[in-house]
Amino acid sequence: MDLPTVWFCVIALLWLGYLFLEGFDFGVGMLLPVLGRRETERRVLINTIGPVWDGNEVWLIVAGGAMFASFPGWYAGLFSTAYLPLTLLLLVLIGRGVAFEYRGKVDTDRWRRAWDAVIVIASWVAPLMVGLVLSATVFGLPLDANGDRVGGPLVILTLPNLLGSLAVVAFSLLHGAAFLALKTEGGVRERAHRFALLLGVPLLLPVVGLLLVAQLREGAAWTWIPLVIALLTGLAALARQAVGRDGQAFVLQGVALAGVVVTLFGALWPNVLPSTIDPAWSLSIAETASSPYTLTVVTWVAAFGTPAVLVYQGWTYWVFRKRIGTKHIPPVHAA
């Protein structure tokens, strides 16, 4: 396997890590007014992701940086065409981070409600934009022979791309509910558990639709395998959730997500950004890859830096692994 193909797989892996970690992160934010009925319960929801939300966002930054370093043509083609959803994504992520930090600075209900609204809105908008950009990568954009976009800034709003946005939002909601069932106790856990069981199958439908569209339009024979794995493990996760095996359900959701990512990037290969005007104008791995020297340097940097980052982030999750309940909220936050 040559270095361009290796880095194509690395970028797919980075997207998998981001969607898995930030997926439940977004889901918790979306479910804040649904599962958090009192201030102490909303504080419990926020505390489940408080130590990790900023680290989860690093995966998106690294994915973009890896794309820039290893496939500058892919980076330029995608980011220049999708600059509106990417800009909106950046703004809501900034607002969401500020809301987490400022929510507890003033002890009034009005202040907290305002920042809660920012968290909820940003948590809905962000996965919509992520799904839009990721789907545009898989299904393609109107690119001419020079790799430039044809049409206005809204050409990215196609039905397959909108389906991808809906799929990421649906997965985030289900993943967030599974995470809260795993990380909380008491009333919040019970409501998260009921939410996942009641809406689990409907929330899986957009993901199934996205996979089938990608497979039927661009997929190869072998990509049916990860697609079937994704479907079976997604249903298995709901089955384990039904019997109270929250940890197993959460892991199975990760396996299902891995099947989704492999299916999508398998359908994309050997291109990195298809042209919807003429397949001959699609941007391929070979055409957009950096020089062999650049890829070699980037590979060595990643070989030394990645283990340290993984160990640090893994340690963070290990330290904050226990369940959280309203009894753990200090009186100053429970007032």
CA angle in degrees (0–180, nearest 5) for 136-140-142? 110
CA distance 225 to 54: 34
For the whole model, what pTM was predicted? 0.92
Q: Is the dihedral of CA 253, 258, 261, 263 positive or negative?
A: negative
What is the domain range of residue 39?
3-217+268-297
Tell whether 262 is covered by a domain: no
Tell whether 235 is covered by a domain: no
Tell whether 69 is covered by a domain: yes
Helical pair 159-183 and 224-242, crossing angle rounded to 10 deg: 40
pLDDT, tens only, 293-319: 999 999 998 888 888 888 988 898 888
Instruction: Show the tokens assigned to 177.
Output: 């509910």
Q: Which of 273, 322, 278 lies closest to 133, judged by CA?
A: 273
Which residue, chain included where needed, has tokens 């998106």?
Answer: 60
Tell whether 233 is covered by a domain: no
How high is the pLDDT of residue 209? 95
Phi/psi of residue 272, nearest 5 degrees: -115, -20
CA distance 219 to 206: 18
CA distance 162 to 140: 13
Tell whether 126 is covered by a domain: yes
Are residues 206 and 66 in contact, defined by beta-carbon separation less than 8 angstroms?
Answer: no
Tell whether 224 is covered by a domain: no
**Cis (ω within 30 of 0) for the bond into 270?**
yes
CA distance 76 to 74: 6
Mean pLDDT, residues 285-297: 91
Tell whether 10 is covered by a domain: yes
Q: Which of 209, 210, 257, 205 lies closest to 230, judged by CA?
A: 257
CA distance 225 to 8: 20
DSSP per-residue letters across 4-67: HHHHHHHHHHHHHHHHHHHHHHHHHHHTHHHH--SHHHHHHHHHHHTTTHHHHHHHHHHHHHHH
Instruction: Show the tokens assigned to 111.
Output: 């202040």
pLDDT confidence bin for 335, thresholds 50/70/90: very low
Overall number of domains in the chain: 1
Are residues 48 and 180 in contact, defined by beta-carbon separation less than 8 angstroms?
Answer: yes
pLDDT top residue among 225 and 308:
225
Q: How does the average pLDDT of the chain come out, rounded?
A: 90
Tell whether 260 is covered by a domain: no
Instruction: Show the tokens assigned to 104.
Output: 């507890």
Lowest mean pLDDT among 26-35, 54-63, 204-213, 247-256: 54-63
CA distance 157 to 263: 22
Instruction: Show the tokens assigned to 260.
Output: 């989704």
